[in-house]
A and B are shown apart, each in its own frame.
Chain A
Amino acid sequence: MSFQILLNVFLAVIWMFLKNEFNGSTFIIGYMLGLGIMFIFRHFFNERFYLKRVNAVVLLLLIFARELILSNISVLKAVLKPSLDIRPGIFAFETVLTKDWEITILSNLITLTPGTLVVEVSEDNRILYIHAMDIADKDEAVDSIKNTFEKAIMEVSK
């Protein structure tokens, strides 16, 4: 991916040299043209076209923001409720992600999910131990982790 971005910047610089105009707007036009050329020749790269990955990263950031707001609403409900009827507990969650940075992002996302917080990552990076505010919601939390977060992270690293 970094190679493709570098190539795109390089094409934009070549465009500036061809026009003999060295300013920001010429650079942007050259970058757009270079993007079009790279899109046409996308089958010659080993990886997929890099805009797809940029798109996946933006999607992941949006998920982060949504989860942060939802988790705040749920904490608010739990704290301001007159009767304290939460049942906390720690459950194990098996993840399919393998790389270190993927697990870091996953555990950050889990920490921002409504009612869950990561306590420990096991030695072999396969199991996350998660403290849940309300263990009754556990299945729901596992579902949302599996379907939304892991999928979104895998989409980035694919």
Chain B
Amino acid sequence: MTAIVEILSALFLLMGVFLFLVSAFGIIRLPDVYTRNHAASKSSTLGIMFILIGTLLYFYYEHGHFDFRVVLAIIFIFMTSPVAGHLIMRSAYHTGVKMWDRSVQDDLKKTR
């Protein structure tokens, strides 16, 4: 039983780190603020959630210590990170950051 949980928590940690890596690559590779924000706000959210779930499982089965603060951290990150992504997007748009030249459509421009 503990071996299964060990492997499971290791898998969670590895997946989380991999998602962090992908989000870092995305920030480097993608062309403008808006598309970079896609990578930053999604991948790192799930990445940090996976890492926290992995630590929760490990400490629960290996040391018999269920830390509820980790669960709270998962919930808080899950609630706040989409809002943070939206606010960065919005302030970038309102300060006039240009979209990538290969962008095709901008419905918001018509209303202003």
Q: Which residues of A come within 8 Å of B, CB atoms?
A: 64, 68-69, 71-72, 75-76, 78-80, 84, 86-92, 107-108, 111-112, 115, 117-120, 122, 129, 131, 133, 135
Contacts and interface: CB of A to CB of B under 8 A. Distances in A.
A69 B41 CA distance: 13
A46 B1 CA distance: 49
A68 B89 CA distance: 19
Nearest to B34: A131
A76 B22 CA distance: 7
A71 B38 CA distance: 9
10 tightest A-B contacts by CB?
A89-B105, A111-B82, A92-B107, A79-B26, A108-B82, A129-B108, A89-B104, A72-B46, A88-B103, A119-B89
Given A92-B108, A111-B82, A111-B86, A75 B42 contact: yes
Interface string B80-102: 00110110011001000001101
Interface residues of B, number: 39
A117 B41 contact: yes
Interface in B18-61: 19, 22-23, 25-26, 29-32, 34-35, 37-39, 41-43, 45-46
Contacts of A133: 35, 38
A111 B35 contact: no
A107 B82 CA distance: 8
A69 B102 CA distance: 28
A122 B90 CA distance: 12
Contact of B103 (A71, A87, A122): A87
B110 to A, nearest CB: 9
Contacts of A79: 22, 25-26, 29-30, 39
Contacts of B103: 87-90
Contacts of A115: 38
Given A72-B43, A108-B82, A80 B22 contact: yes
Contact of B106 (A86, A90, A108): A90
B22 A117 contact: no
A115 B35 CA distance: 9
A87 B104 contact: yes
Contacts of A88: 32, 34-35, 99-100, 102-104
A120 B25 contact: no
B4 to A, nearest CB: 22
B105 to A, nearest CB: 3
Contact of B108 (A68, A72, A111, A120): A120
B2 interface: no
